[in-house]
Amino acid sequence: MSRILSNTDKTHIAKWVGEAQLISIFAHQSPDGDAVGSSLGLANALISMGKKVKVILPDALPVFYYFLQGAHDIVFFHENPDEVKNIIAQSDLRFYLDFNRIDRVGHELAKYLADYTGNSIMIDHHQQPDDVASVLFSDTTFTSTSEMIFQLLHQLDWMEHLNLPAMEAIYTGVVTDTGSFRFPVVTAGTHQMVAFMLERGLNHAKIHQEVYDTQNFNRLQLTGYALGQKLVYRPEKKLAYITLSQAELNRFHHQSGDTEGLVNQALSIGGVTMAVFLREAEEPGIVRCSFRSKGDHDVNVFARQNWNGGGHKNAAGGKFHGTLEQAIELLENLTA
């Protein structure tokens, strides 16, 4: 892994982008701020270069990211599978952003990506990436894939195409993946990148307001219910967890992104070193899992070994096959 692309990789990327007639960009299921930010950051820069670009996401993004330019043009596989298949067939270059395994886009979409034999570029900051792309730019020392997009543009001498829409998207990805710059992975270089964008017109206060200060009543009600009724605290295990069933989510008219940040609330309890959020998915028999930790408690290993997932040392996700009750039982047993 390296924070610097090799000359060979830079040559390939520049050539492929220059020759491409249609570039498609993919990010993972349940897209978070970094998935959305890195995708739209790269897309807006490439569009500035005169390229035709399509951003494809497996499913819906949180409503509070729609202020970003290009968000309304995203094509969602779960809504328009035939359109996505057509885009895939016509694309002559693909970017895979913010995921380290092809199955992170979902089983059905992954099948179409796996058959591709053309040029592809994976950019990601998670551990242990699969070898699925022509060029792999992977480095866990970056705060986010969005920060890596900034570095990609810088290293390829494409900074003239870092326009305001691209900067807003990149900043959104960085600020959400770093918990507003409070996680240990943040470096002086991260702040220097932000300073560079601020000097060129980025309005960081506007982005914070759009992402964090624009709530709806149902989301606030769901948050209150989750923290007041569903938060379980196990001080002897230094563990806290929240669980929500589909019935509970439906009761509060859940939309994508409404539960974002709940697991961090659980982790904020004094003395807790691991927090878990278990959410019953719409697909029967699937539970979505989020893990957060402090210090040396490695939830990446925990998620990989037990929950069909992975991520970072202090932040990971996964998927459990079974009922919500069985997932809770497993969690209790694993932390006994």
**256 falls in which pLDDT band (50, 70, 90)?**
confident
H-only helix segments in 92-144: 107-114
104-151 pLDDT per residue, tens: 999 899 988 887 878 999 999 998 888 889 999 999 999 999 999 999
Tell me the C-alpha distance between 204 and 236, whole Å: 41
What does the buried/exposed string (b/e) look like for 150-179 if buried means 16 or more CB atoms within 10 Å of the residue's CB?
bbbbebbebeebbeebbbbbbbbbbbbbbe
One-letter-per-residue 3-state SS of 262-330: HHHHHHCCCCCCEEEEEEECCCCCEEEEEEEECCCCCHHHHHHHHCCCEECCCEEEEEEECCHHHHHHH
Backbone angles phi, psi at 209, to 5 degrees: -65, -45
11 within 8 A of 39, measured Cβ to Cβ: no
Calculate mean pLDDT across residues 4-17.
Answer: 96
Q: Is the pLDDT of residue 214 over 90?
A: no
Tell me the C-alpha distance between 88 and 68, whole Å: 24
Q: What is the pTM of this model?
A: 0.90
Q: Which domains does the chain have, with CATH numbers?
A: 7-212 (3.90.1640.10), 217-334 (3.10.310.30)
57-68 pLDDT per residue, tens: 999 999 999 999
Question: Under DSSP, is residue 97 helix (H, G, I), strand (E, B) or coil?
Answer: strand
Nearest in space to 114 (alpha carbons), one of 102, 106, 124, 123: 102
71-91 pLDDT per residue, tens: 999 999 999 999 999 999 999
Task: Fill in the DSSP letter of residue 74.
Answer: -
Question: Under DSSP, is residue 100 helix (H, G, I), strand (E, B) or coil?
Answer: coil
